[in-house]
Structure formats: C-alpha cells, structure tokens
Amino acid sequence: MSVIAFILLGSVVLLPAAGLLALRWATSTGQFRCPDKAALLPFDEVEPVGMETDCILGGNRR
Amino acid sequence: MINQSQTLQNKTLRALLPGDALTGGGTEGGKKAALAEIDASCRVPVLFFFLSGLAWLLAGTVLALVASIKLHTPGFLAGWEWLTFANVRTAHLNTVVYGFASQISVGVTIWLMCRLCRIPLVAPGLITVANLFYNLGVTVGVGGILIGDSTAIEWLEMPRYATPILFVSYALIAVWTIVTFRLRAERHLYVSQWYLLAAVLWFPWLYGTAQVMLLIEPVRGVVQAAVNWWFAHNVLGLWFTPIGLASIYYFIPKVIGRPIHSYYLSVLGFWSLALFYNWNGMHHLVGGPLPAWMITVSIVASVMMLIPVITVAINHHFTMVGHFGKLKYSPTLRFMVFGAVSYTLASLQGVASAVRSISEVTHFTHHTIAHAHLGMYAFFTMVMFGAMYYILPRITQREWPSNGLISLHFWGVALGIVLYVVPMSIMGFIQGTMLNDAAVRFLDVVQFTLPWLKLRTLAGLLLAAGHVAFVINVGWLLVRMFEPYRKPVVSILTGEAETVAAAKLP
Amino acid sequence: MSNPQESPNASSSRLDRGENHDVTELHAAVLREKPDPVEGFEPVNLWVVAGIAGLLFWGGSYLTQYSGRFEAMEFSEFPHGKPVPVAAVAADPLAAVKREGMIAYNAVCALCHGEDGAGKAGVAPTLAGSDWVNADGPNRLLRIVRHGLKGTVKVNKDVTWNPANDAGIVMGSQWDAIGGTNEKLAAVLTYIRSSWGNTGAAVTPQMVADGLAPVKDRSADANWTQEELLQVPASGAGAPAAAAAAATPDQLKAQLQALPAEQRQALLKELSK
C-alpha cells in the first residue's frame, strides 16, 4: 500500500505541476499572443477563409 | 544544452517520417504537407478505427435494445443466463464506451492532429496494429462481462485480464499521436489541439489511477466510491468532452468557412474546463457517507462548469450566426450543431442535478440515465457522426453514395434521441418525487414507469434504424473505394484536392 | 503532386461543380466575408466577465457555508442541524438549545420513544403530555436519563406502560449516549419539555448539576424504579425529603386530604394568594 500511496501522492503533485508548466510554455511561446492568427489555423491556401466545404445535400446548391 | 538535445531528439523522431514530407530546411517543423497527403497518410488507421468503432456501435445498439426491452418485459430472453439484465446493460455500456466512442475518438483525434499539425501521420502501421490489439482487448472484456466475470465497478466492469491489452494498445496510439504533435510543421496551436492533447494525456491518467486504486490495490470503504465516481465522471468530462469540443471547434469554422467568433473565449473555455471538470465526480454521491466538504467542493465545481459551457456556447452560436441556412446542405454541420446545442443542454442539466435539493429528487431515477444519454449520445456521438461525415470522404477520396441514407441517419438518430431524453427526464423527475413520498408504494412507482420505458424502446428502435442507415452508407462508400475512380455526382471537396485524388488512385 | 494546378490533367478531372460556375460566383463566399474582419479576436464580452465573477463569488460563499468546516469526520452539510428561520430564533431565545436537544433526542431517545414522543406500548412510555415530563422540575427526569429506569411505570394515572414480558425491557443509562455532559442533558430535557404540546419550563445546566449532585456516586447500572423516584422532589435541590416527596398532582391531593381540616383550609388560602 505504501508504494501505491507514494505513487498517488506523487501524481497529485506532478499533475498540477504539469498543468502549470503547460500554461507557462504556452505563454512563453506566444500561444496566447496573436489570437487572430490562431483562429485562422484551420484554414490554408487550398481551403481559405470564406470557402465553404461539405455541401453535399440539397443537390443543386453551389 | 536543452535546445541541442531537443534538436537531436527531433532529428531522431523525424527520421521516422515517410519520404520527403519534412525535407524543409531551417524551420523546426519542416515543410507543411498538402491536405491530400495528410488525408492519405491517415487512411488505413483511421478507417480501421472508424470501421471497428461502427461494428461495436451495432453490437452496443443490439445490447441496449435487449436491456431496454427487458426493463418492461422481464420475460424477454429470460432463458439465457449470459443475457441477464445486469450482464446486458453492463456489456452495452462497455461496448459503446470502449468499443465505439473511444475508437471513433481516437480516429478523429489522429486525423485532426495531423491536419492541424500539417504533417502526415507518423507510423500509421504501428497505430493500425495497436488498433487490432485494442479491439482484441474490448472483445475479451465484453465477452468476460457476458460470461459473468464483471468486476461490478461502474465503468470499469471489464475483467482484469482484459485491461492490460487495452492499456498497452492505447499507450501505443497515444505515444504516436504525441510524436506526431511534437514534429508539427505549424508552430502555433489551434484550440482543438489543446483539447486533443489534454484528452490524450488525461485518459491514461484516469484509467491508470482508477485501475490501481480500485482493482490492483483497492482502497477501502467510501474512498472506493469516491474514486469510482471521480473516474466515471471524468471519462466523460476529460476524455470524450474535450475530443467532442475539439471537433466542434474545427469543423464548424471549416464547413462554413469562417473563423471562430472569439479565440479569447475558446482559450478561457479550455483552461476553465481543465481547472474545474476534474472535481465534479463526487456530486454523484450527494447524501452518501462522505465528508460534507468533498461533496460540497464537487457541487461548487459542477456549478463552476457553467463558465466553460457558457463560453463555448456563446462562441459556437456567434460563429454560426448568419450561416444557419447551411444546415440544409452539410450533414457534418447538422450533426455538429445538434451536438453543440446538446452539450449546452446536457451541461445545464448536469449542473442542476448536482445541486443538493434537486439531486434529492433525481438521484437513483431514470433522470440520471436520460442525462447520461444526453451527454454521451446527443452531444458526443452526434459530433462524432458529423466528424465521420467529413473525414471519410476525404480519406477514401470518394463521395457519399446516398443522400437519402444520410437524411435517414440524421432524422432517425435526432428524433430517436429527443424521444429518448425528453420523456425520460420528465419521467425520472416524477419518479423521484414519488420515491420521496413515503405514502406511495414502491410497486406503484414501478408501474408508473412502464409506459415510459416502452417509449424508450421505441426511441431505441429509431436510433438503431439510423445506425443501420449509416453503416450501409459507409459500407457502400468502401465498395466504391475499390472500384475504379469515377466522377462524383455531387462533390464536397475542392477541385484541387480531388485532382490529387484522381491522380493517385487508379 | 501536392500542387494540383501544375498537373497537366487537372482540367480533365475537374468536377461538375467547378465547371458550372464562373469566377465571380466562386468567389462570392470570400467576398461576403469581408465585412467581418474582426472575427477570431473578438474581445471577451464584459457581461461574461461579470457573470464569471458572480459565479466565483457564489462558489466561495457556498463552500464556506456548507463544507462542515472541512473536517474529515463531518458528514452533514448542516453540522448543527438545519438552520431555523431568523423570525423563529427571535421569537424563541431557546431555539439553539432546543435544536441541539432535538439532534441528541432523535439520535438516541427516538428509537424507543419515537420522534413524536408518543412512545411504544410495551417498550417505552409516552413523553407527550406526560405528568412526569411536565412536572415542576427536572429532578426525576434527569435521574432517569442518568441511571436508567426499570419496572412498571404509571403515566397520567390510567395508562400503565408495562414492559411487554416478564423479562422486562429496562431503560439503561443514556448519559454517555447523549454526550455525557450537563449541557447536553439540559438541552435534551428542554427539548422534551417544550415539544409535542408539553409545557415544562426550560432546564439549565446548573439545574442538572444541582439535581445530580446528591446521586453523583450512584452506579450507572443502578436503574431507578418508580417507587424510588417518587421519593425525590420534582424540583429544588433534589435531596430526598419525606415531607415534600409527593410531587404528582395525585399524591399532592392525597396528602392535602390527609391533613386536618383547618390546616388544609389555611394552606389552600395561602397557596391561592
């Protein structure tokens, strides 16, 4: 039981620490700095903003 | 020092990538890959995940129907001891959670991760092998439940001999997903990647902790119940919910061609979910013999879930404003928007029934079951259907064969789940007030539920019809994949992506 | 490969969709999006911020109020019983004491005497409207709780709450069960004497201390009997005094009638002042 307890207590410390490190990493690499750029990430030159994809139903639509 | 070792590590990892995908020079991630190239690299593993997930969906649907019928007609299949209600209901939960939902999640995660990292999938072969072992694990686990080897711990009923296979194959998949992320060509992270990465890391932590504390080295007394509900609630909250939200955040903007309304809100939504969801589980034990503070903390955290839920709801709604007409033409959008609305409703219902005074009524009634299906089906499964409608044509380079089947699928499951959740929520609430009234006999309460339970079987049949329609459509799509390429009747892809397809496939 | 426009057979495998539309139409979607350049970095609405602040405030206060002081062994979100409305507290200064007494009573005494104090035939006598409970002082009641009671008990003249069988059901000492302090016993007796239509006055811890002082050496196993208790004056310091022993209305009446006529008249006159 004691080994398990140490593992669990260790994870209790490590997990929030990992979360905080992730947050620090995100701020230091500028993940929160330019949200305008981040919001455009699903788009690229082939499928730019304004291009609708997945028009299947309704037959005669564009 | 650190930079050097990181570069070295990246070089080693990059050697794993196929061909000239990452030949770009100075930038860390290398050259961005074309969409068609990414889709092609995902074809085999993602198809495997989707197909085996759908097979488990059909199995889970049959088990669910049997369980549902048994609740109002106890004589149904009563002669088969491995199909008792306890076995069937448990097998249903485990097939849909581990067989269906988790596998579709992994397929969607892999594809989204590659698309947003803009590189082809690393080691698709290994992931496919891991998928085969994962399916073996689920088969052994569900078989074990049906022959009576259930551990009787909610959401962890699979016998202990099945779980190592599941864990190891899952770990393989997760490791290669993270390696893909590590080698990304796009430095900036989209909000979906936050959710996906977190989910991929949270799930083994949840599953591992619960396995250790409940099965390998069981803790004693009420702590077991606390760990059990912490796990069961977090599988929904920290595994399925993030993947569902990641999909919505990607597919709604992608389909309507418009960026998300507010990226600030999406960041706030992610971090508040990460902060609060983990505390929620204990609200299942309101009234139980746990220290008052544990339950109170859980209730407060459950109410705090309003923050991520409302930010997500605002964000999705304002992204959609002015584009609702598109629902008519895009199956992906239909399922996604249905799922997004259900997410808000399910969360609000969950917040309400976490509060002590309401939990007193709804606990131990069918209300909880309706709530679980609102979250797992109306939100998560619908979003996964939507994602599959988008991903499958792109990885197979074929169009959906039948629009009629798509409509049948959508209306079958949409009506089915509404017919399931709304009456069951109402019935559960009435059932709860009857149970709390000492003057009402227990048998009267049981008899009151009977017509509603029959209605649930009807709803289940509608869901089953939708599932069959979808599976037929997917099967048809696969048949087309092995036929010579022809011009599609109606297109969903851009002309450019499909030119590549035409050139690649015979 | 990755750039299809360079591919020679690009136009031949174009889709019908692309063929049917001219350039303007193809770009209509792009053009329509132009008036919305701020998407993606819309600042967070102030109402949302205010709502989040309100939620956090609520969370903090709920946590403080219902967390049972974060103690590991506190299982109820109301460690002192359900709160009594303010108006009721103002009207009854003893509300807190009665609530404390109710908790102990419901946990210990109610098993036999019932939460409504009605008792159970053959097991435990009624407390509601009982002459024992409504006596002038608590001296007999506190002895019963302190050391227990055995044998036949006569309540309100007629009703005999005999044990159901010869083996007899004995009420043992409940002193430890209710908490073992003068304050707890006072609270329980105050609750009993003011509930279910009873009209006895409140009992203070000092009254309990005074009442138990003469019997402080008595063993907890030495249960009282009805006869023994009737020797104890209901009120006062609780020392057995033969002259004042009678306390029930019956016995008082009997004693009164036993006196010589003139003496009786004088006593009644004096009492009626």
Which comes out higher in pLDDT, residue B390 or C267? Answer: B390
Q: Are residues C201 and C134 in the same domain?
A: yes
Instruction: For residue A43, give how far its alpha carbon lies from the nearest alpha carbon of chain B (Å).
Output: 7
- B500 to chain C: which residues are within 8 Å by CB? 1-2, 4, 7
Q: Which of C23, C46, C79 is the last residue of a domain?
A: C79
Instruction: For residue B390, give how far its alpha carbon lies from the nearest alpha carbon of chain A (Å).
Output: 7
Instruction: For residue A36, give how far its alpha carbon lies from the nearest alpha carbon of chain C (Å).
Output: 5
Cα–Cα–Cα angle for B291, B296, B298, nearest 5°? 105
Can you tell me whether residue C120 is helix, strand or coil? strand
In the DSSP assignment, the letter for residue A57 is T
Exposure string over B437-460, b if 16+ CB within 10 A, otherwise e: eeeeeeeebeeebeebbebbbebb
Total residues found in chain C within this entry? 273
Q: What tens digit of pLDDT does each residue of B233-262 get?
A: 999 999 999 999 999 999 999 999 999 988
pTM (two decimals)? 0.72
Q: What tens digit of pLDDT does each residue of C32-54 get?
A: 444 444 455 667 788 889 999 99
Q: What tens digit of pLDDT does each residue of B296-308 get?
A: 999 999 999 999 9
Q: Are residues C151 and C227 in the same domain?
A: yes
Tell me how many domains chain B contains.
1
Q: Which of B115, B257, B406 sits opposite A57 (nearest CB)?
A: B406
Q: Are residues C163 and C228 in the same domain?
A: yes
Cα C202 from Cα C141, distance rounded (Å): 13
Q: Give the per-residue pLDDT at C211.
A: 83
Q: Give the per-residue pLDDT at B45.
A: 95
Q: What tens digit of pLDDT does each residue of B461-470 get?
A: 999 999 999 9
Position C9 pLDDT exceeds 60? no
Is position A52 within any domain? no
Q: Are residues C36 and C131 in the same domain?
A: no
Please give the share of chain C, as a percent, with pLDDT higher than 90.
5
Amino acid at B18: P
Q: Are residues C112 and C49 in the same domain?
A: no
Domain of A7 in residue numbering reads as: 2-39
- C2 to chain B: which residues are within 8 Å by CB? 33-34, 36-37, 500
Q: Give the per-residue pLDDT at C32.
A: 47
Cα B121 from Cα B110, distance rounded (Å): 8
Q: Are residues C70 and C105 in the same domain?
A: no
Q: Which residue of A has its CA nearest to C5?
A: A46
Q: Are residues C69 and C120 in the same domain?
A: no
Q: Give the per-residue pLDDT at B24.
A: 39
Q: Give the per-residue pLDDT at C19.
A: 45
- Interface mutation vs chain C, best among B282, B293, B295, B355, most C CBs within 10 Å: B293
Q: Give the per-residue pLDDT at C16.
A: 46
Instruction: For residue C194, give how far its alpha carbon lies from the nearest alpha carbon of chain B (Å).
Output: 28
- A16 to chain B: which residues are within 8 Å by CB? none
Is position A58 within any domain? no
Is position A30 within any domain? yes
Q: Give the per-residue pLDDT at B462.
A: 97
CATH number of the domain at C123, please: 1.10.760.10
Q: C120 - beta bridge partners?
A: C124
Q: Where are the alpha helices (DSSP H) in B147-236?
A: 163-182, 191-211, 222-234
Q: Are residues C105 and C170 in the same domain?
A: yes
Query: Tokens representing C117?
Result: 């104090």
Q: C154 - beta bridge partners?
A: C160
Task: Give me the residues of A, 2-41, that contact C with CB < 8 A.
Answer: 35-36, 38-40
Q: Are residues C33 and C143 in the same domain?
A: no
Is position B458 within any domain? no
Contacts of B274 (CB under 8 A, 6+ apart): A19, B198
Q: What tens digit of pLDDT does each residue of B146-199 get?
A: 999 999 899 999 999 999 999 999 999 999 999 999 999 988 899 999 999 999
Is position A57 within any domain? no
- B292 to chain C: which residues are within 8 Å by CB? 66-68, 74-77, 79
Mean of the per-residue pLDDT values for chain B? 89
With CB atoms and an 8 Å threshold, state whether B33 touches C75.
Answer: no
Instruction: For residue B19, give how far its alpha carbon lies from the nearest alpha carbon of chain C (Å).
Output: 13
Query: Tokens representing B399?
Result: 């169009």
Q: Are residues C61 and C137 in the same domain?
A: no
Contact pairs from chain B to chain C, CB under 8 Å: 124
Q: Is the dihedral of CA C33, C39, C40, C41 positive or negative?
A: positive
Which comes out higher in pLDDT, residue C55 or C88? Answer: C55
Exposure string over B94-120, b if 16+ CB within 10 A, otherwise e: bbbbbbbbbbbbbbbbbbbbbbbbbbb
Cα–chain center distance at B251:
15
Is position B425 within any domain? no
Is position B84 within any domain? yes
Tell me how many domains chain A contains.
1
- C17 to chain A: which residues are within 8 Å by CB? 62
Q: Give the per-residue pLDDT at B251.
A: 96
With CB atoms and an 8 Å threshold, state whether C44 touches B262.
Answer: yes
**How large is the ipTM?**
0.88
Half-sphere exposure at residue C100, Cβ-oriented, CA atoms within 13 angstroms: 14
With CB atoms and an 8 Å threshold, state whether A37 touches B257.
Answer: no
Q: Give the per-residue pLDDT at A57.
A: 77
Is position B241 within any domain? no
The mean pLDDT of B250-275, rounded to a whole number, is 91
Q: Give the per-residue pLDDT at B458.
A: 97
Cα B283 from Cα B277, distance rounded (Å): 12
Q: Which residue of C has its CA nearest to A47?
A: C30
Nearest Cα to Cα of residue B375 among B72, B101, B170: B101
Q: Give the per-residue pLDDT at B287.
A: 87
CATH number of the domain at B82, please: 1.20.120
| Low-confidence spans in chain A with pLDDT less than 70 | 1, 58-62
Instruction: For residue B421, give how far its alpha carbon lies from the nearest alpha carbon of chain C (Å).
Output: 28
Q: Which of C31, C49, C79 is the last residue of a domain?
A: C79
Position C114 pLDDT exceeds 90? no
Nearest Cα to Cα of residue B254 among B323, B179, B189, B187: B323
The mean pLDDT of B434-457, rounded to a whole number, is 93
Tell me how many domains chain C contains.
2
Domain of C206 in residue numbering reads as: 96-241
Q: Where are the alpha helices (DSSP H) in C82-177?
A: 86-91, 95-104, 110-113, 139-147
Can you tell me whether residue B210 is helix, strand or coil? helix
Q: Give the per-residue pLDDT at B501.
A: 43
Cα B300 from Cα B313, distance rounded (Å): 20
Position B414 pLDDT exceeds 90? yes
Exposure string over A11-48, b if 16+ CB within 10 A, otherwise e: eeeeeeeeeeebeeebeeeebeeebeebbbbbbeebbe
Is position A32 within any domain? yes
Q: Are residues C68 and C188 in the same domain?
A: no
Domain of B155 in residue numbering reads as: 41-188
With CB atoms and an 8 Å threshold, state whether A50 touches B257.
Answer: yes
Position B101 pLDDT exceeds 70? yes
Q: Give the per-residue pLDDT at B116.
A: 94
Q: Which residue of C has its CA nearest to B34?
A: C2
Q: Which residue of C has its CA nearest to B31?
A: C2
With CB atoms and an 8 Å threshold, state whether C63 touches B296.
Answer: yes
Q: Give the per-residue pLDDT at C168.
A: 64
Cα–Cα–Cα angle for B47, B398, B179, nearest 5°? 35
Cα C45 from Cα B249, distance rounded (Å): 19
Is position B90 within any domain? yes
Position B496 pLDDT exceeds 70? no
Is position A9 within any domain? yes
Q: Are residues C163 and C55 in the same domain?
A: no
With CB atoms and an 8 Å threshold, state whether A56 touches B399.
Answer: yes
